Amino acid sequence: MNKAELVKHLAEQAEVTQKQAEAVVNALIATIHGTMRDGGELALADLGKFSSKKREAKTGRNPATGATMEIPAKTVPQFSAAKALKDAAAAAKA
């Protein structure tokens, strides 16, 4: 499912217009981005927890040449799935 399909599905489920559903989806995405940018955490019951994690600088190897290289420190997004989401995925038809 992509964003357009999600908007259409939410509009049908919530009995609102697609424009209203898209506004809600965009607001949710903006809220998640803002929270993570500020170093915070957003937890949604039955879905999971969105946060950011700092990775330290490290030394790595270029797989093509074997040369060592420094990988700079950076902040990366992190998502931890809630038990309900894990259970739903486990119950999915194969």
For the segment(s) 41-94, the CATH number from 3.40.50.620, 4.10.520.10, 3.20.20.70, 3.40.50.720 is 4.10.520.10
Query: Each residue of 5-15: pLDDT tens digit?
Result: 999 999 999 99
Query: Each residue of 44-94: pLDDT tens digit?
Result: 999 999 999 999 999 999 999 989 999 999 999 999 999 999 999 999 876
Edge-first strand order for the sheet with 74-81 is: 41-44, 48-55, 74-81
pTM recorded for the entire structure: 0.76
Distance CA 39, CA 58 (A): 22
